[in-house]
């Protein structure tokens, strides 16, 4: 099956929950799902089909029936995956199935009952137990995030303002793949802490949801754990491996009924369908192997799971089923879906020394703080030794760095105490000294006081630094310690042994299965027939078997055809509805909106594929909105507006404030004499009109005209009044704005 050495297929396991009390009371029909645990097969009975119709059989990596224990599923199917994550692989577990079939039960289970704890709490135990049992040269950093995809929007469940926060965006990094921007990530140092994170997220999920079951059946929940591990390699350098684990509880896979729902609900149904149908399309495209394009970009969910499906990750899919006859169709769809997912090939590889490892940053920061701290302590020690003995050898700095932290710390404290005592005694001495003048005494005492204050400040700074250093260091977990659970240590060891045995039996069973299948295939080939009669019998048996297979495949083809017809009809129905709505909107637009308005609006609309929305283009480009709108048009450079003699005199006199702001624009006016004259005549005709800039100096008409007309930029700059004008130019422009 594997295409190349490093590729492996998605592991698919199926779990069927027990009949619920309500389902039991519905009728004596019993379940429609049968399981062969030894061979990993699910046999599905169609309650509506005649008994002659062959039952449908699907084979998976493992199957778990109604009596299966949480622990069994974990040990056999999940444990190897978590081990890989701890070794630096990416891993994904997702639960897929109809609402009410046990996705949440499988992923989370009942937290308080050790027997019924699901995959997630067991994984927490596993990860932290592994860390506590690993060698002490390993350092770990564990982080957790929790998000939910609801109506194609990503919400951070660990954000305290979860309810009001904006939906998060997806980004792509060529090295680490798709990630969620600004997603909260909590460093977790123990099982208790990570459980707390999960609780906070679960509460955030429940808040705002009127009906939690309803909500969880419509949203996808993703719990992400990143485990970074640093270990010295053979080259002596520390190497970091990063494993990312996605624990996904998908929305209910049942078809969202679109008939009868409208508005928001219709939109929501469409969006839930979008994510799951996109997931189905991605699985089909990958399982098919022929189609080059995999439509990851069609939904947020498929983009986030891109690595888990056909990429760099190991993936386990748990498909959950209900045994009730009324859900036959959904159960069959789930089984088909799961069956297709088996064929997906992933290429998992260890993430070694990625650039964005947070652990590396932490290690650097810790080293920096430590160096700072040591330097400080060395300085204090140096000072204290100077007090006792003036000679200090620089080489001793190295020695101190190697000393144990506590010792240095203690010495630092001792030094501060000694120094304080010394300063105190010196102060006493100064006070007692009879020879000193009073103000000199005061000065010396003040100086000592300052030294005391400095000393205390220094000590405070050191304490702060120490606290920061310790806080930082405590975030890293060191193999072999940190997890205070010694009382249960022996019990844990016992559990681990039991798990190892479970692992062993699982492997044995797998091998037995394979042997059985191989035997079945080759038995008949090796058989030598002693008589013709025997040969006929054997061949008839084989023929019967093949015929049954043929019938099963025929039924399968018919089923698939039926399903296609059904989904086509559904699509056609949706199309009809949409067309009808479109016609309605067209009618309104064509008859009630003026065509020019319609065109204006249509020209401004652009489609935003990221948000899947039409948007209005802003009238003014965004960046120039604030600055350009307010700017005045600039005049031709070098030319100033003609200025009247009257105005010049007024400026020189500094009299009327009106002329202070004269000539602020560089404009060349095309002013022909006859034009101006006509303006002047009109002004003469209306003497009451308030004087405008151009018309007011009517007395010096002749002089002004000739001057204005022949004014050159040069003469303007040489004019004395222009000096003051230039000075106030900038101020007035600013004021004018
Ligand atoms: P889903 O998350 O798929 O909608 P739930 O996990 O909420 O379904 O399960 C629905 C109900 O069935 C719950 O009451 C749960 O306790 C019960 N249930 C599911 N799976 C099992 C199982 N394997 N054994 C016992 N009870 C189960
Ligand atoms: Mg659920």
Work out the average pLDDT over 688-706: 42
- The domain that contains 326 carries what CATH number? 3.40.850.10
Q: Rounded to whole angstroms, how far apart are CA atoms 18 and 323?
A: 7
Assigned domain for 567 exists: no
Q: Rounded to whole angstroms, how far apart are CA atoms 362 and 121?
A: 27
Closest CA to 476 of 703, 81, 143, 54: 143
57 appears as a binding residue in the annotation: no
Q: How many domains does the chain have?
A: 1
Q: Rounded to whole angstroms, how far apart are CA atoms 379 and 338?
A: 67
Assigned domain for 474 exists: no
Pocket probe for ligand 1: among 101, 105, 107, 330, the residue whose CB has the most ligand atoms within 8 Å is 105
184 appears as a binding residue in the annotation: no
Nearest ligand atom owner, CA of 319: 1
Select the more confidently predicted residue: 144 or 679: 144
Work out the average pLDDT over 700-729: 41
Assigned domain for 269 exists: yes
Any idea which residue has 């007692």 for tokens? Answer: 432
User: Rounded to 5 degrees, what are φ and ψ at 669?
Assistant: -95, 140
Assigned domain for 399 exists: no
- Most trustworthy range by pLDDT among 245-254, 256-265, 378-387, 643-652: 245-254
Work out the average pLDDT over 409-425: 72
Q: What's the gap in Å between 23 CA and the centre of ligand 2?
A: 19
Say yes or no: CB of residue 101 within 6 Å of ligand 1: yes
102 appears as a binding residue in the annotation: yes
98 appears as a binding residue in the annotation: yes
Pair 152, 610: CB distance under 8 Å: no
Pocket probe for ligand 1: among 13, 17, 251, 320, the residue whose CB has the most ligand atoms within 8 Å is 17
Nearest ligand atom owner, CA of 220: 2
Q: Rounded to whole angstroms, how far apart are CA atoms 553 and 579?
A: 38
Pocket probe for ligand 1: among 100, 212, 318, the residue whose CB has the most ligand atoms within 8 Å is 100
Assigned domain for 117 exists: yes
Q: What is the 3-class SS of 231-248, one letter each residue? A: EECCCCCEEEEEEEEEEE
169's tokens: 């965006």
Q: What's the gap in Å between 206 CA and the centre of ligand 2?
A: 12
Q: Rounded to whole angstroms, how far apart are CA atoms 666 and 637?
A: 6
**Mean pLDDT taken over the chain:** 77
Say yes or no: CB of residue 97 within 6 Å of ligand 1: yes
Quick check: 684 pLDDT over 50? no
Work out the average pLDDT over 336-348: 89
Q: What's the gap in Å between 32 CA and the centre of ligand 1?
A: 17
Q: What's the gap in Å between 95 CA and the centre of ligand 2?
A: 9
598 appears as a binding residue in the annotation: no
Q: Closest ligand 1 atom to the C-alpha of 70?
A: 23
Say yes or no: CB of residue 102 within 6 Å of ligand 1: yes
- Most trustworthy range by pLDDT among 258-262, 610-614, 704-708: 610-614
Assigned domain for 384 exists: no
92 appears as a binding residue in the annotation: no
Quick check: 15 pLDDT over 80? yes
For the whole model, what pTM was predicted? 0.70
Assigned domain for 54 exists: yes
Say yes or no: CB of residue 18 within 6 Å of ligand 1: yes
Relative to beta strand 314-321, strand 91-97 is parallel
Q: What is the pLDDT of residues 172-189, one digit of tens each?
A: 887 777 888 889 999 998
Share of the chain above pLDDT 70, in %: 72
Q: What's the gap in Å between 324 CA and the centre of ligand 1?
A: 13
482's tokens: 């940190």
Question: From the centroid of its chain, how far is CA 296?
Answer: 16
Instruction: Residue 242: give the domain boundaries.
Output: 8-356
Q: Whose CA is nearest to atom 21 of ligand 1?
A: 17
């Amino acid at each position: 099956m594997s295409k190349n050495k490093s590729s492996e297929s998605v592991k698919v396991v199926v779990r069927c929950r027990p009949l619920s009390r309500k389902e039991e009371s519905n009728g004596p029909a019993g379940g429609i799902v049968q399981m062969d645990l030894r061979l990993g097969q699910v046999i599905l009975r169609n309650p509506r089909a005649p008994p002659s119709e062959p039952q449908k059989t699907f084979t998976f990596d493992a199957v778990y029936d109604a009596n299966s224990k949480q622990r069994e599923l974990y040990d056999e199917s999940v444990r190897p995956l978590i081990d890989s994550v701890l070794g630096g692989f990416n891993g994904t577990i997702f639960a897929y199935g109809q609402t009410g079939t046990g996705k949440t039960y499988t992923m989370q289970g009942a937290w308080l009952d050790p027997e019924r704890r699901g995959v997630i709490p067991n994984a927490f135990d596993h990860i932290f137990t592994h860390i506590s049992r690993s060698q002490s040269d390993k350092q770990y950093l564990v982080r957790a995030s929790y998000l939910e995809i609801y109506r194609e929007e990503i919400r951070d469940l660990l954000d305290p303002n979860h309810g009001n926060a904006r939906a998060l965006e997806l980004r792509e990094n060529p090295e680490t793949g798709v990630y969620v921007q600004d997603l909260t990530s909590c460093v977790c140092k123990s099982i208790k802490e990570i459980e707390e994170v999960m609780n906070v997220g679960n509460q955030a999920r429940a808040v705002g949801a009127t009906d939690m079951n309803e909500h969880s059946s419509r949203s996808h929940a993703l719990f992400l754990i990143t485990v970074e591990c640093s270990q010295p390699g053979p080259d002596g350098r520390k190497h970091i491996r990063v494993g990312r684990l996605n624990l996904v509880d998908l929305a209910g896979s049942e078809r969202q009924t679109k008939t009868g729902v409208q508005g928001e609900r219709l939109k929501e149904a469409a969006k839930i369908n979008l994510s799951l149908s996109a997931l189905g399309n991605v699985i089909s495209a990958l399982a098919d192997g022929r189609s080059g394009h995999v439509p990851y970009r069609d939904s947020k969910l498929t983009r986030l799971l891109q690595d888990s499906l056909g990429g760099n990750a190991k993936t386990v899919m748990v498909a959950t089923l209900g045994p009730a006859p009324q859900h036959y169709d959904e159960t069959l769809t789930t089984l088909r879906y799961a069956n297709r997912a088996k064929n997906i090939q992933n290429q998992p590889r260890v993430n070694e020394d990625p650039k964005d490892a947070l652990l590396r940053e932490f290690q650097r920061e810790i080293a920096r703080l430590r160096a700072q701290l040591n330097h400080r302590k060395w300085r204090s020690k140096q000072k204290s030794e100077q007090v006792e003995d003036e000679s200090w050898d620089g080489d001793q700095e190295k020695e101190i760095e190697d000393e144990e932290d506590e010792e240095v710390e203690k010495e630092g404290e001792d030094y501060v105490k000694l120094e304080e005592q010394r300063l105190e005694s010196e102060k006493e001495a100064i006070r007692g000294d009879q020879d000193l003048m009073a103000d000199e005494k005061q000065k010396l005492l003040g100086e000592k006081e300052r030294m005391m204050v400095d000393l205390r400040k220094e000590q405070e700074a050191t304490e702060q630094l120490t606290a920061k250093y310790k806080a930082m260091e405590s975030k890293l977990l060191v193999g072999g310690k940190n997890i205070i659970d010694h009382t249960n240590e022996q019990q844990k060891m016992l559990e681990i042994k039991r798990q190892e045995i479970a692992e062993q039996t699982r492997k044995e069973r797998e091998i037995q299965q394979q042997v059985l299948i191989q035997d079945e295939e080759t038995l008949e080939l090796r058989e030598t027939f002693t008589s013709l009669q025997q040969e006929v019998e054997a061949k008839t048996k084989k023929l019967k078997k093949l015929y049954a297979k043929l019938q099963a495949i025929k039924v399968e083809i018919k089923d698939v055809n039926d399903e296609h017809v059904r989904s086509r009809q559904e699509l056609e129905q949706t199309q009809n509805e949409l067309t009808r709505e479109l016609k309605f909107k067209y009618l309104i637009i064509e008859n009630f909106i003026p065509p020019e308005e319609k065109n204006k609006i249509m020209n401004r609309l652009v489609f935003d594929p990221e948000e899947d929305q039409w948007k209005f283009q802003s009238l003014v480009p965004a960046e120039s909105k604030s600055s350009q709108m307010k700017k005045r048009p600039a005049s031709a450079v070098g030319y100033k507006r003609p200025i009247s003699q009257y105005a010049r005199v007024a400026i020189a006199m500094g009299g009327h404030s009106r002329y202070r702001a004269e000539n602020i624009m560089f404009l060349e006016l095309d002013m022909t004499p006859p034009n101006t004259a006509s303006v002047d005549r009109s002004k003469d005709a209306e003497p009451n009109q308030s004087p405008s800039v151009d018309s007011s100096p009517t007395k010096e008409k002749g002089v002004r005209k000739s001057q204005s007309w022949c004014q050159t930029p040069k003469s303007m700059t040489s004019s004395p009044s222009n000096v003051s004008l230039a000075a106030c130019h900038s101020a007035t422009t600013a004021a004018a704005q």
